[in-house]
């Protein structure tokens, strides 16, 4: 009951989001209460590690990312984002 629902996970993995939209992303706001997390795992209460950002390499796909508020990330990610020019903080 606390793991992500497989069908919902597959839906989001297959959801066609054009790569051309990546430059429009200027902010990431992670919160365990965000709708996406509640849809994926409604009984987890948000306190899980399923969605932790583990590596900052993919930031290159979001050239206009300016701010990141994090709750699902490994310890080093916030510092790495700051070094890469993103105003990053923990929630």
Closest CA to 72 of 37, 39, 20, 42: 37
In the prediction, which pLDDT does 84 show? 96
- Asked if 17 and 77 touch (Cβ cutoff 8 Å), the reply is no
Residue 23 has, within 13 A of its CA and on its CB side, a CA count of 1
Contacts of 17 (CB under 8 A, 6+ apart): none
d(CA 91, CA 69): 6
Q: What is the pLDDT of residues 30-80, one digit of tens each?
A: 987 888 888 888 887 666 777 889 999 999 999 999 999 999 899 899 999
Q: Kindly report the pTM of this predicted structure.
A: 0.81
Pairwise pLDDT comparison (50 vs 83), residue with the higher score? 83
Q: Tell me the two tokens of residue 22.
A: 């990546």
């Amino acid at each position: 009951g606390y793991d992500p629902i497989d069908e919902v996970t597959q839906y989001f993995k297959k959801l066609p989001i054009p790569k051309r939209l990546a430059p429009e992303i200027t902010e990431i706001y992670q919160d365990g209460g965000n709708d996406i997390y509640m849809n994926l795992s409604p009984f987890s209460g948000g306190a899980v590690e399923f969605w932790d950002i583990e590596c900052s390499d993919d930031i290159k796909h979001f050239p206009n990312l300016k701010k990141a508020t994090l709750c699902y990330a490994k310890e080093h990610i916030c510092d790495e984002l700051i070094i890469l020019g993103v105003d990053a903080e923990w929630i």
